[in-house]
């Protein structure tokens, strides 16, 4: 059955001699499709199989077995993603996280927004990245508990965020997790209670960095138990660029 889909290429992997498998993020799911002959430099499909390009495709959808990419048209190629190794590796980590998550339109829209912000060299790319990560954590049900202490539900005396407990801890319940400043705690609280419409205000109040992204990606790995191979690569790249 021929269908038309629109989405973002997440990754491509060689398949058999001349073909490739392409993972496409759509608003509802991640679609895996076989692109025939794409390893040939003359293939017309090459353009529409580049990671982080936004395209439209005609797919021959098979009920059993791999669906086939018939043709495609690029709508936008976020090529600046590939010009900065840290950003590129970060995008592959997000793409890896997406493969372990139930896709929803909100995730798709935020990921598209993140790529758009990279492409226009926005100063807040890490802030936009955090909104994607936050949405993934929420969809997976592993967002931090920030409405009080996760153990005793006391709203007063909050002094840290515990990775292992999965939320804030008050002074009485904290057993050894390093204390955080009020500002750091408020930053976490604001990120997780605000919705995307408030992002500009949030970006005015707090600075979101690559380290924040790494913290929440580690959180994802810890709470889902998925080993993200792309994450060790990103960490190496970050180390080298320091
Ligand atoms: Zn407590």
CATH number at residue 11: 2.40.50.140
Model pTM?
Answer: 0.95
| Residue carrying the six token digits 């199989």 | 49
Is the domain of 98 the same as that of 119? yes
Which backbone phi and psi does 167 adopt, to 5 degrees? 180, -170
pLDDT tens digits for 129-171?
A: 999 999 999 999 999 999 999 999 999 999 999 999 999 999 9
The residue among 41, 57, 77 that closes a domain is 77
- pLDDT bracket for residue 210 (50, 70, 90): very high
Identify the band that residue 242 occupies on the pLDDT scale cut at 50, 70 and 90.
confident
Alpha carbon of 21 to ligand 1 centroid (Å): 49
pLDDT at 108 > cutoff 80? yes
For 110-139, what is each residue's pLDDT tens digit?
A: 999 999 999 999 999 999 999 999 999 999
CA of 185 to the centre of ligand 1 (A): 15
User: What is the C-alpha to C-alpha distance for residues 102 and 228, in angstroms, rounded to an integer?
Assistant: 16
Do residue 208 and residue 111 come from a single domain? yes
As residues whose CB is below 5 A from the ion ligand 1, the structure lists 149, 151-152, 154, 170, 173
73 and 193 assigned to the same domain: no
Say yes or no: 9 and 113 in one domain.
no
* Residue 241 predicted with pLDDT over 90: no
Residues 193 and 129 in one domain: yes
Contact 144, 166 (CB under 8 A): yes
- Cα–Cα distance for residue pair 57/73, rounded to 1 Å: 6
- Structural domain including 63 reads 2-77
Q: Quick check: 101 and 30 in contact, CB under 8 A?
A: no
What would you measure as the largest C-alpha separation in the chain, in angstroms? 66
Q: Dihedral of the CA atoms 151, 156, 159, 165 (nearest 10)?
A: 10
Expressed in angstroms and rounded, the spacing between residue 186 Cα and the centre of ligand 1 is 17
Q: Please tell me the distance between residue 146's alpha carbon and the centre of ligand 1 in angstroms.
A: 12
Picking from 58, 77, 96, the residue at the C-terminal end of a domain is 77
- Pull the structure tokens for residue 13: 């992997």
59 and 96 together in one domain: no
Instruction: Indicate whether 172 belongs to any domain.
Output: no
For residues 63 and 126, membership in a common domain is answered with no
Task: Identify the H or E element spanning 33.
Answer: strand 30-35
Confidence band (pLDDT; 50, 70, 90) for 183?
Answer: very high
């Amino acid at each position: 059955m021929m269908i038309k889909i629109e989405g973002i290429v997440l990754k491509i992997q060689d398949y058999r001699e001349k073909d490739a498998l392409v993972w496409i993020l759509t608003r509802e799911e991640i679609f895996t499709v076989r692109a025939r002959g794409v390893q040939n430099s003359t293939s017309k499909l090459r353009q529409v199989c580049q990671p982080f390009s936004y395209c439209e495709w005609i797919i021959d959808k098979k009920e059993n077995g791999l669906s086939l990419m018939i043709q495609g048209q690029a709508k936008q190629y976020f090529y600046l993603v590939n010009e900065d190794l840290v950003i590129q590796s970060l995008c592959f980590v997000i793409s890896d996280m997406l493969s372990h998550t139930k896709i929803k339109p909100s995730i798709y829209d935020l990921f598209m927004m993140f790529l758009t912000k990279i492409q226009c060299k926005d100063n807040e790319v890490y802030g936009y990245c955090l909104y994607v990560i936050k949405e993934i954590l929420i969809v997976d049900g592993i967002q931090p508990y920030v409405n009080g202490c996760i153990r005793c539900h006391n709203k007063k005396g909050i002094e840290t965020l515990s990775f292992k407990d999965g939320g804030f801890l008050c002074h009485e319940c904290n057993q050894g997790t390093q204390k955080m400043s009020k500002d750091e705690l408020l930053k976490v609280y604001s990120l997780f209670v605000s919705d995307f419409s408030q992002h500009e205000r949030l970006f005015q109040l707090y600075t979101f960095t690559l380290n924040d992204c790494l913290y929440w990606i580690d959180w994802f790995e810890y709470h889902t138990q998925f080993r993200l191979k792309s994450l060790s690569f990103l960490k190496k790249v970050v180390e080298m660029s320091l």
